[in-house]
Amino acid sequence: MNAEKETAIFAGGCFWCTEAVFQRLSGVETVVSGYIGGTIKNPAYREICTGRTGHAEAIKITFDPTIITYEELLEVFFATHDPTTLNRQGNDIGTQYRSEIFYTTEKQKELAENFMDFLKKEAIFPSPVVTAISEASVFYNAEEDHQNYYNENKTQSYCQYIIDPKIAKLKKFYSNKLKTA
């Protein structure tokens, strides 16, 4: 019997970073980098970089919930970016780098709200979590050269200094959730 696939959309800073993390999880079938939450149709990367379109760099994940749950995706999302910095991830600054969950169902909204409540109650982070939770709007795929970026550009300094540590953290804390070669 074929399980119904689900979609999750997360913005956690640079989509090259989030794409690389989620591509490695068992149960994740596809990860597409793109733009969501803005005011113009069919935005291009050069427009997104200005921070004036209102879009966030985000990823759209297709996953099998019988292998990895939405809650597990949320856990990895919060563990692999800084949800306490408003419109910023490291050196990437602007609204396009915000932390935001775009829910595709009411159940996802409820799960995201409950997870955020847990993070606050347990004081998981030293500063308040600023991640927004919004209903998914139109998701625009990023240009082809932004897809599968880390896997095709591992020797670039950005990948080595920014993304490699996220992958190392993922391997350290979530080795049981990783795809096998």
Could you list the active site residues? 14
C-alpha 99/C-alpha 118 separation (Å) is 17
Residue 118's Cβ-side half-sphere holds a number of Cα atoms within 13 Å equal to 10
Burial of 127 (0-12, 13-18, 19+ CB in 10 A): exposed
User: What is d(CA 139, CA 129) in angstroms, rounded to the nearest whole number?
Assistant: 24
Those residues with Cβ within 8 angstroms of residue 140's Cβ, 6 or more apart along the chain or in another chain? 34, 35, 36, 41, 42, 43, 55
- Residue 149 CB neighbour total at 10 angstroms: 21
Phi, psi angles (nearest 5°) of residue 14 = -60, 130
Q: Which of 139, 135, 131 has its CA nearest to residue 55?
A: 139
